[in-house]
Structure 1
Amino acid sequence: MASQTGLSIATISRVLNGRANVAPDTRERVLQAMGGLGRRAPRRRGGGLQKADNGVYVRCPYVLSDYFGIIVSAITEALDRHGMHAIVDAGESAWRRTGVLPTLSAGWPQVTGAILILPVEGADELERLRDRGFPFVVVDPRTAPPRNIAAVSAANFAGARRLMAHLVELGHRRVGVLGGPPEWTAMSDRMAGYTAPLVGVGVYPAPELLRSVKDPTIEAGRAVAAELLDLPRRPTALVAFNDKMAAGALQAAAERGLRVPGELSVAGFDDIDVSRATLPALTTVRQPLEEMGRMAVSLLGRMLTGHELDALHVELATELVVRGSTGPAPAGS
């Protein structure tokens, strides 16, 4: 490659290891020589996996709770069925390990590929890993993934639209949104989905009814729901970024003596265990969390065995689950 590019071996090494002290045009020359800028996702050549080369790095920079834990469990079980094993890196320590991606392709001989769940790295870092020919799949991408990186997500827009259509059919027009991090793709997609049914009946969501938080927890949901419920003209319904925030909204409603769903409807997203533990049980949008994990393993397995991926961005269907927390809008609202 040195003869192809006219660059020193040291410079080429810096590019392949993702070092920052390389000029953009130099990096481009090396990657072009590698053939790493093609349209297809990276894959391993040859048939089958070697016994000593069947580890898959599974990174989730969050605590493995009832959301992420479901995804990771499905991944580890699917890997086992494919004759591979998971090397799990999760929690706060995984969040702090921001420099791990450049080391995967060179420094982890026992790792044959990776599955990255809601990765903190930006598109540039993911593209560098792809350009080095290292196979990986992103699950639940934080931001829109580049076109030639394999990714699995849920149909956030469609799920949010169906949920809001349900509320509109019940007569709700003044709906508050308890949002997650605004920079996340899932949030922007859901916001677009929430807006569409309201616009369809001539209502545009009022900015005063939108709140967003960095960490979508029960306590965060309770706090932002309280803000909306204390408005001079409170909303008749609240839709939350996830079921935990919706559970917090139910707490805020109870503290104000509001009957759910008689005076206020509340809905979540995810359909995790807490959605069935609240009183009333939550109307929510079910995400196929286990299938997201299994699909990621399937895509990675195909890459490792040399198959082409015709569909790099896989979006799995969501489902509206109607329970007791939503009902008709109060009369006169």
Structure 2
Amino acid sequence: MARLPGGRVTVRAIAAEAGVSIATVSRVMNGRVPVAPETRELVRRAVERLGAPTPARRGSAEGAVYVHCPYVLTDYFGLIVSSVAETLDLHGRRLLLGAGQASRPSIPLASLPDDRAVAGAVLILPPEPSAELEGLRARGLHFVVIDPMAPLHPDIAAVSAAHTAGARSVTAHLAGLGHRRIGVINGPSEWLASHSRMVGHTSALAETGTLPAPEFVRSIEPTPEHGYTAACELLDLPSRPTAIVAFNDKAAAGALRAAYERGLRVPEDLSITGFDDLDLGRSTQPTLTTVRQPLEEMGRMAVSLLMRLVDRHTIDTLHVELATQLIVRGSTGPAPRSG
């Protein structure tokens, strides 16, 4: 039976005893994601037989996992990192965090394969070139990428949201409300997520017999300020769009501001959608129709994959896409009759 040194019980042991996955045990333990009562009971009985899993000693770096997130840990990134940290704790693994835009990484990625204190790594939206990541893999580093920025080698494990399906669902929602002139405030054109979402958007529009008009598409760094600027350009066109699909909730908030300044009512004159389902989208007026990304589940799944890689288990699916969910709120409505 798998136990930590000193007879301490591991999450893996609980999962094996209950006949469920490690991710399921993590969900039961943190109580944040609904689990079927019968499954929860299986885990409870396993804990009764073996004892509760105990985190690793805080002072030890042995078998630590390095989490690389070169961004400010607000909303989107903070949710992912928190989920990774909680799940690593359940696995008895210490977290070494390198985060923040301004700071240098606490451990250079290139040194990770030679660092015996590091069992593996979780790389969140890594800006490093795919060739550099492939070099880390070739040198024997176990790691998982969350939300890759660029296409990855097939042998690199990755977890992301279903960007294409999410974008398709929100554009199909708008099309069902009669919108045909739909503006797109997309992310940077070189991002994998931007490409995938444009595919979904185009696919949904094609079912109505239309295609995205080039003048209705903008590619931006997805911030409120850039979202505002892009929306101003779209709304000042001679024939403006009746709806705007933004890359994320922050860009959508900027679009709401641009609409307000022009005296446009949302959703009566203009519908606006976001992506991510951050707290921001529930605070705007009107509240924001958006696509929910399973950010915390992405963190849990990445740790689960990493632990299997570290234990040298066979993994049939290295690239995992998690389902998104369309959340309809007050910022979308029927296309104006004049549009």
Equivalent residues in 2 for 1:138-287, closer than 5 Å: 138-213=145-220, 215-287=221-293
Letter in 2 for 1:105: P
Runs of 4+ more than 6 Å apart: none
Q: Distance in 2 between matches of 1:93 and 1:283?
A: 33
User: Quick one: structure 1 residues 98 and 125, their matched pair in 2 at CA, closer, same or farther if it must change by over 3 Å?
Assistant: farther
- 1:101 aligned partner: 109
Q: Could you list the per-position Cα deviations for residues 221-251 of structure 1 after superposition, in whole angstroms to 9, with x for gaps in the alignment?
A: 1111011001111100000000000011000
Q: Distance in 1 between matches of 2:107 and 2:234?
A: 40
Q: Indicate conservation of the 8 Å contact 1:283/1:321, yes or no.
A: yes
Cα displacement (A) at 1:109: 2.8
Which of 42, 53, 59 is matched with 2:62 structurally? 53
Equivalent residues in 2 for 1:20-99, closer than 5 Å: 52-93=61-102, 97=105
- Number of residue pairs matched by the alignment: 282
Q: Indicate conservation of the 8 Å contact 2:98/2:106, yes or no.
A: no
Q: Helix, strand or coil: the match of 2:245?
A: strand
Tell me the C-alpha RMSD between the 2 structures. 1.6
- 1:3 aligned partner: none
Are 2:123 and 1:113 equivalent residues in the alignment? no
Cα displacement (A) at 1:52: 4.8
Q: Distance in 2 between matches of 1:98 and 1:241?
A: 31
- 1:296 aligned partner: 302
Q: Indicate conservation of the 8 Å contact 1:151/1:314, yes or no.
A: yes
Letter in 2 for 1:103: S
Letter in 2 for 1:159: G
Q: Could you list the per-position Cα deviations for residues 78-128 of structure 1 after superposition, in whole angstroms to 9, with x for gaps in the alignment?
A: 00000002111111245x55992221111x332110000011111111111
Letter in 2 for 1:102: A
Q: Distance in 2 between matches of 1:306 and 1:331?
A: 60
User: Quick one: structure 1 residues 246 and 323, their matched pair in 2 at CA, closer, same or farther if it must change by over 3 Å?
Assistant: same
Q: Distance in 1 between matches of 2:63 and 2:84?
A: 14
Which of 287, 309, 318 is matched with 2:324 structurally? 318
Cα displacement (A) at 1:149: 0.3
Gaps of 5+ in 1: 1-48
Q: Distance in 2 between matches of 1:152 and 1:320?
A: 20
Q: Helix, strand or coil: the match of 1:67?
A: helix
Q: Indicate conservation of the 8 Å contact 2:97/2:106, yes or no.
A: no
- Give me the TM-score of the superposition, normalised by structure 1: 0.82
Q: Helix, strand or coil: the match of 2:144?
A: strand
Letter in 2 for 1:311: T
Indicate the percent of aligned positions where both proteins have the same amino acid: 60
Q: Distance in 2 between matches of 1:138 and 1:109?
A: 20
Greater RCO (CA < 8 Å, at least 6 residues apart)? 1
- Give me the TM-score of the superposition, normalised by structure 2: 0.81
Q: Indicate conservation of the 8 Å contact 1:98/1:121, yes or no.
A: no
